[in-house]
Amino acid sequence: MSSNLISAEAAHASGNPLRSYVSGFVLSLGLTALSFGVVMAGHVAPGLALDTITLLAVAQLIVQLVFFLHLGTAPDQRQNTVIFILAVLLITTVVSGSLWVMHNATVNMMPMSPASEGPATGG
């Protein structure tokens, strides 16, 4: 896979993005077909299938980040990479902070007991 990442950077640097996009598309289709095959063939144990699909999903994420979002270590790609990393950190901070606040609110709420609900009205 490292040779594909190097060729993606070379294609971006040479000014021929169509080659990079086609390569990324073919790799994405191949990874999707592999994931589909793991599920539909049924030849892989269920625990191993989940691990395999997770690994293929991470590989597809990397392919899409490199070939379509142009993230990498080349000088013209560093700004995109830094912005992406900062966006991930910001989203992680907001989501984890929200979960922390909601958890503390749930823990610190007063419990409702049947006696504190008030008198029952009836006929």
Dihedrals phi, psi of 104, to nearest 5 degrees:
-65, -35
CA–CA separation, 113 and 6 (whole Å): 64
Angle at the Cα of 111 (from 110 to 112), degrees rounded to 5? 115
Q: Average per-residue pLDDT in the chain?
A: 83
Flag whether pLDDT at 14 surpasses 60. no
Q: Which domain holds residue 69?
A: 2-104
The larger pLDDT score, comparing residue 60 to residue 116, is at: 60
Within a domain: 6: yes
Give the pTM.
0.62
The larger pLDDT score, comparing residue 46 to residue 14, is at: 46
Number of structural domains, the chain? 1
How many other CB atoms sit within 10 Å of the CB of residue 23? 17
| Model pLDDT, residue 85 | 93
Within a domain: 120: no
Within a domain: 113: no
Over the stretch 49-89, which tens digit does the pLDDT of each residue have? 899 999 999 999 999 999 988 888 888 888 888 999 999 99
Within a domain: 96: yes
